Every structure is written in C-alpha cells, then in structure tokens.
Structure 1
Amino acid sequence: MSDAAQPTAAEVRAAAEAVKTALDRHLAAVERRSGEDDPAVYEAFNQLAAAAEAYDELLYDRYDEVTPFEIPGGDDSLPPYAGPEEPHAVSVVIRRDYAVAEPQRLLAQAQRVEAAEYENAGLDDEAAATVPGALTILFGEFEPDEIATRHKEFGLTEGDSTLWVMAAEEAAEPGEWLEAPFEQLDPQYVVCRFDVSAVFDQDEDTESDDELDDDLVEMDGDDDVEPLDAER
C-alpha cells in the first residue's frame, strides 16, 4: 500500500477509541442482560466485533501490526438459538446452487426423459427444447439428492450449498405455508447448519501451499537432501 493510501495516525487512534467505547457498551449490556439470549447483548457484541475489525485493519495498514485477539463469529454467523428447548417438529431448508455449464447436455437429458416417461402425460412437446423446460422435467423426474450426485450428467456445475435444520413448537398443518414457504424463516430457530463452498477448499489449498513452501525452504537448507526425481 502506498503512503498516500495509508490511514493517518489520527484515524488509527480514533478507531482505537471506538473499540474502547464498544467495550464499555458491551460490558454495560452484559451487566443489564435480561436473559441468556438478550438481543441487546447480541447487538453490542456485533458492534464490538465491527469496531475491533476496523481497528485491526487500520493498525495493520498504518503500522504493519495486528491485535492479539480474534472475536469469533461475524456477519455470517447465526444469532443465539431462541427456539424451543424440546422441539416437537423440525423444518429442513436446503439451498443448492448450480451453473448451467452445458445447456446442450441438459436439453438432451431432458429430451430422453420426456421421450421415455412423458410421452402420454399431456406435456407440451416443446418442453424439453428450452432450458427452463428442461429443468422442469429433470427436477420433476429426479430427487434433488440424485441431481446433486449426478449433476455433471445433466450439464450442471455445483456452486455453494447450505442446509438449515430449524426447530418448531409443532408441525405445520398441511398446506399451511405452501404459498410462501420461505417467508418466515427465523435464524434464531436454526438448530444447526451445514455449508459447502469452494471457498473452503481454496482456504485449505492455501494452507497446504504454505506448508509446502515451508518444507521446500527446509529442504533447500539441507545439503544432504537428494534432488527429487521429476519423472516420479
């Protein structure tokens, strides 16, 4: 970073003062908390996390130093669980993203299904000729889990996915939420969630590359190490 783009010392000092203020507010919220999941404490925690992150970034940009603490969680974390202690029902909400990488493969698969299964079902003969129509046929024929395991066959490329398990006091009545199935999702009722993303793999690859670089440095410093066989 150039000197012109660096924060000033006054800006770093102001960020440090903001952390102190956020600490005081967080402590005050904790001292006044009305229960285990007091929203005021949760809000003060987020404000403290944001102030600490801002200070850490400015400190590093100006002085090439970091703080010795790390606040867990962040904007992507879930709020404290506030659902029933003994749920009598659960809702499982799944999102899976795909890119239509090979439209022709997708269309061909849908046309095969249409020819074999829907010949006399009264569907539009041109349903498999468009990407939306092909998706309708394939997702109507195959379970989502099967599509997830066979996505390459359908010309799809996996993106991020997430699964939320949400607690409920009781099961919904048949048809109760079908008109707006995702309208009343409350993150405070999420018991657990499971995320899959290529970002996680990239983080692991970066760590592995760093470890490999360290190993190479150690090998370079060892006169007794024989050169690796490049053809092995």
Structure 2
Amino acid sequence: MSDAAQPTAAEVRAAAEAVKTALDRHLAAVERRSGEDDPAVSEAFNQLAAAAEAYDELLYDRHDEVTPFEIPAAPDALPPYGGPEEPNAISVLIRRDYTVAEPQRLLAQARRVEAAEYDDGADDEDAAGTVPQALGILFGEFEPDEIASRHKEFGLEEGDSTLWVTAAEEPPEAGEWLEAPFEHIDPQGVVCRFDVSALFDDDVSDGADGDEEDLEFVEDDEEELEPLDAEK
C-alpha cells in the first residue's frame, strides 16, 4: 500500500474506539439477553466482529501490526435479515449430497421401476444401463423427500445437506429463473437456514458406534422385504 493510501493515525484511533464501543454494546446485550437465540446478541456480535476486522486492517496498513483476536465464521453464518416484513412469497432451496455407495443396487432398483412401466412385465435392459440413467429414472419416479428417507434402498449414502427459506415481496414470473435457479440469492432475504453435516458429528461416543451396527442389522432385514412403492 502506498503512503498516500495509508490510513491516518486518527483513523486508526477512531477504529480502536469503535471496537471499545462495540465491546460495551455486546456485553450489555449479553447481560440483557432474553433467551439462547436472542437477536440483539447476534446483532451485537456481528457489529463487534465488523469493528474488530476494520480496526485490524487499519492497524496493519498503518503500523504493520495485527491483533491477537480472530472471529471464527460459523458455517451457517448469515447477515441480519433484511427482507420484507410481510413477504408475499417464499422460495425453498434444498441441497442434499449423496455418495453412490452401491451402484448395482441403484441399477437394480431403477430396472424394477422401468419393468413396472410395462404391462407385460418385460424389462428394458437398456433403460437403466448406467448410473446416470438409473438416477434419472429414480429421481423422476420418487419425490426427493422419499429418496432421502429410503436412500439406502437405492444404494445411496447421505452426505451434507442444507435447506434455505428465502422471502420476497412478490412471486417471480413463471419460468423467470429456470435457466439459473440457484443464482442471485440475496443473503439478507434468507429467513432461516438448516444444515446437516458430518462435521457436526465429531462427538460420537463408543456406545453410538454400537447403535450403528444394530441399525445395519435392521437394514439387512429390510432388504429381504424391500417393498418398492413407486407412487408419488
């Protein structure tokens, strides 16, 4: 950074005072908190984080020094909600990740669905000959929530997932966003967000491992019956 662009000593001092003020506000909000998820505490935390970051940058630019503080960013951190107070429309965005753990099971289930489409019960061997074809058949036949609840029957293993609810003043025009459905999401329009991740499962006890083995035994029993209802 050039000398001309460097912040002045007064700007650094003002940023330090802003951190002190934000600290006082954060402590006051914590002392008055009304519950575990008090929005006033969250807002004060965000203000403190912003003030500390600004001070750290100015301190480095002016004096080539840094603070010993680091504000961790939560994986589900969102800015304060800034959408309409009474939204007339909402959008629900869902992402679920899976591993194709058992490709042969996936193919077999897709072929069963395809066979059920023929009155004579004939099986079209080419219809589900590859994993992408099988995925297209199964996700075309079953609702995503049913896939999620029966994923092991389809040879899939769950990964991370997230669900966002966003608010808007008015619903979009028909077909308006179909070309890029997940772009241009305003973070301040997110009403709520729910995440599921193996990242949060670090504290699994030895007893829980035993429970997982019991679940695998039950799943084996289910495989013998394996009713495949293809109704939507």
The two structures have a TM-score, normalised by structure 2, of 0.59
Q: Check 1:105–1:46 CA distance in 2 against 1; reply closer, same or farther (3 A cut).
A: farther
- What CA deviation, in whole Å up to 9, does each residue of 1:30-54 have, x standing for no partner? 9xxxxx99xx959825726989x97
Taking the aligned partners of 2:56 and 2:100, their CA distance within structure 1 comes to 37
1:52-201 mapped onto 2 (5 Å cutoff) = 55=68, 74=74, 76-117=76-117, 126-201=126-201
Residue 204 of structure 2 aligns with which residue? 205
Taking the aligned partners of 2:133 and 2:76, their CA distance within structure 1 comes to 35
Q: Check 1:44–1:23 CA distance in 2 against 1; reply closer, same or farther (3 A cut).
A: farther
The alpha carbon displacement at 1:163 in A equals 0.4
- Is the 1:93–1:163 contact (alpha carbons within 8 Å) kept by the matching residues of 2? yes
Taking the aligned partners of 1:47 and 1:175, their CA distance within structure 2 comes to 41
Query: Is there any run of 5+ residues in structure 2 with no aligned partner, and where?
Result: 1-12, 24-39, 58-65, 209-232
**1:47 corresponds to 2:53:** yes
Query: Is there any run of 5+ residues in structure 1 with no aligned partner, and where?
Result: 1-19, 31-35, 58-70, 210-232
The alpha carbon displacement at 1:80 in A equals 1.3
Residue 14 of structure 1 aligns with which residue? none
The alpha carbon displacement at 1:55 in A equals 2.2
Taking the aligned partners of 2:126 and 2:181, their CA distance within structure 1 comes to 30
The alpha carbon displacement at 1:201 in A equals 2.1
The two structures have a TM-score, normalised by structure 1, of 0.59
User: What is the alpha-carbon root mean square deviation over aligned residues?
Assistant: 4.0
The size of the alignment, in residue pairs, is 165
- Is the 2:76–2:193 contact (alpha carbons within 8 Å) kept by the matching residues of 1? no
- Is the 1:29–1:44 contact (alpha carbons within 8 Å) kept by the matching residues of 2? no
Q: Check 1:49–1:127 CA distance in 2 against 1; reply closer, same or farther (3 A cut).
A: farther
- What CA deviation, in whole Å up to 9, does each residue of 1:129-173 have, x standing for no partner? 101000000000000000000000000000010000000111112
- Is the 1:42–1:79 contact (alpha carbons within 8 Å) kept by the matching residues of 2? no
- Is the 1:166–1:189 contact (alpha carbons within 8 Å) kept by the matching residues of 2? yes
Taking the aligned partners of 2:197 and 2:131, their CA distance within structure 1 comes to 25
Q: Check 1:118–1:47 CA distance in 2 against 1; reply closer, same or farther (3 A cut).
A: farther
Taking the aligned partners of 2:144 and 2:17, their CA distance within structure 1 comes to 49
- Match of 1:85, SS state, is coil
The alpha carbon displacement at 1:127 in A equals 3.2
- Is the 1:23–1:48 contact (alpha carbons within 8 Å) kept by the matching residues of 2? no
Q: Check 1:72–1:125 CA distance in 2 against 1; reply closer, same or farther (3 A cut).
A: same
Taking the aligned partners of 2:190 and 2:125, their CA distance within structure 1 comes to 43
- What CA deviation, in whole Å up to 9, does each residue of 1:163-214 have, x standing for no partner? 0000011111211111111111111110000111122222x427x99xxxxx
- Match of 1:180, SS state, is coil
- Is the 1:151–1:158 contact (alpha carbons within 8 Å) kept by the matching residues of 2? yes
